Amino acid sequence: MTADKQPLLDVRGLGIFFRTEAGEVQATRDVSFQLRPGERLGIVGESGCGKTVTGLSILGLLPRAQSRVEGQVLFEGRDLLTLSPRQLRAVRGRRISMIFQEPMSALDPVFTIGQQIGETLRAHRGIGKKEARERAVEALAQVGIPLPSRRVDEYPHQLSGGMRQRAMIAIALVCEPQILIADEPTTALDVTIQAQIIDLLFDLSARTGTALLFITHDLGVIAETCTRMLTMYAGEVVEDSPVDAALERPRHPYTSGLLRSIPRLSKRKTVLPSIAGRVPSPADMPTGCRFRARCVHGLAECEARQDLLDVSLDRRARCMRQAELTLPGAIA
């Protein structure tokens, strides 16, 4: 399948640190993964596991004064982590774009949608005002906004939540980037609108070959959108696998626990399997397996630091018991 293609994005040993009042804390450790052309990779995990900061770090969007990033983010022969803010701006929006859960935070309230799309185009493509407007109308039509030639002159607050999300996608895609990073783009939307946006992203990625890095806490969204998935726990990648394989037979107890706690997969009115406890905070990370305190399969040896082990050619799991455990997946 895609496994033979060269990776488009090669993230190696990403460690993200924040300076806080209590000293420096580490939000992610040794995050490594690859994204291939046209691939749709999901990142899943509970809140606070490091999904958002991982996405932000790729584009140098973490607050510079309070953070430090180690590792490498290789893209088109360069390490994005070594680029100057100016060099990064040339990548952002043109080669790699990002969309967020709350489109209002990314859209500028004082400019029309058309001006914002035009701005992106003119900055990266150097085209004129008139052409930019035409392209903006096209872009809005492409993301399924009705009456695009009217909407193009409207301000963000005049659009509904679903329309704003589409407008943000239009801005993100207008320069036909290689990679789109989407951080919970449908979390605030109704299922009906979510289905529209998922279809839109899916079609655009299939048509233009844009690779998708899809961050979400919703395994249903991953199942319907992505080809591969990374499970993150407490700042680490704990499983990296093709989606169907992970849903059928997860190799990390955390992936299994996340799946089993979904109400839809249990019989009505039965006790839902949950994962006792909470994600540890970066300020007091346990040594050894970070999931140990919540894992029902833990052994004394799990107190040793766990590495991502190869499960097969295209799967890895950070659990020393991955080969011997048979963990329930979407079908128990």
Ligand X SMILES: Nc1ncnc2c1ncn2[C@@H]1O[C@H](COP(=O)(O)OP(=O)(O)O)[C@@H](O)[C@H]1O
- Do 302 and 291 touch, CB atoms closer than 8 A? no
- What is the nearest approach in angstroms of ligand SF4 to the Cβ of residue 144? 22
- Residue whose C-beta lies closest to ligand X: 52
Comparing CB distances to other proteins, the nearer of 58 and 259 is 259
- What Rg do the C-alpha atoms of the chain give, in angstroms? 21
222 binds ligand SF4 (CB under 6 A): no
Does 102 engage in binding with other proteins (CB under 8 A)?
A: no
Q: Which of residues 157-176 bind other proteins (CB under 8 A)?
A: 160-163
> Using DSSP, how many helices (H) and how many strands (E) does the chain show?
11, 12
d(CA 89, CA 59): 9
The owner of tokens 């803010």 is: 85
Name residues whose C-beta falls within 8 Å of residue 127's C-beta, 6 or more positions apart in sequence.
121, 135
279: Cβ contacts below 8 Å, ≥ 6 apart: 46, 47, 48, 49, 233, 234
Q: Does 264 bind other proteins (CB under 8 A)?
A: yes
CA distance 116 to 109: 10
Of the residues 289, 308, 311, 327, which one makes contact with ligand SF4 according to CB under 6 A: 289
Contact 315, 240 (CB under 8 A): yes
Question: Which of other proteins, Mg ion, ligand SF4, none has residue 52 at its interface (CB below 5 to 8 Å by kind)?
Answer: Mg ion
Q: Residue 213 binds what, of other proteins, ligand SF4, Mg ion, none (CB under 5 to 8 Å, by partner type)?
A: none
> Minimum distance between the CB of residue 299 and ligand SF4, rounded to whole angstroms?
6
Give me the phi and psi of 78, to 5 degrees please: -125, 155
Residues 6+ apart with CB under 8 A from 68: 16, 17, 19, 24
Task: Please calculate the CA angle 253-30-239 and round it to the nearest 5 degrees.
Answer: 25
Please tell me the count of residues contacting other proteins according to CB under 8 A: 48
41-70 positions binding ligand X, by CB under 6 A: 45, 47-53, 63, 66
- Rounded to a whole number of angstroms, the minimum distance from the CB of residue 125 to ligand X is 32
- Is 89 an interacting residue with respect to ligand SF4 (CB under 6 A)? no
Cα separation of 182 and 201, whole Å?
10
Contacting residue, 130, 157, 207, 269, with other proteins by CB under 8 A: 269
Vertex 316 angle, CA 14 and 101, to 5°? 55
Binding test (CB under 5 A) with Mg ion, winner from 52, 57, 196, 322: 52
Residue tagged 């919703």 (tokens): 218
Q: Which residues bind ligand SF4 (CB under 6 A)?
A: 253, 289, 291-292, 295, 297-298, 302, 306, 319-321
Q: Which positions lie near other proteins, rule CB under 8 A?
A: 46-47, 146, 160-163, 190-196, 198-199, 217-225, 243-244, 247-248, 257-259, 261-266, 268-269, 271-275, 278, 330-331
Residues found near Mg ion in the complex (CB under 5 A)? 52
Q: What does the binding site for ligand X look like in residue numbers (CB under 6 A)?
A: 18, 20, 27, 45, 47-53, 63, 66, 281-282
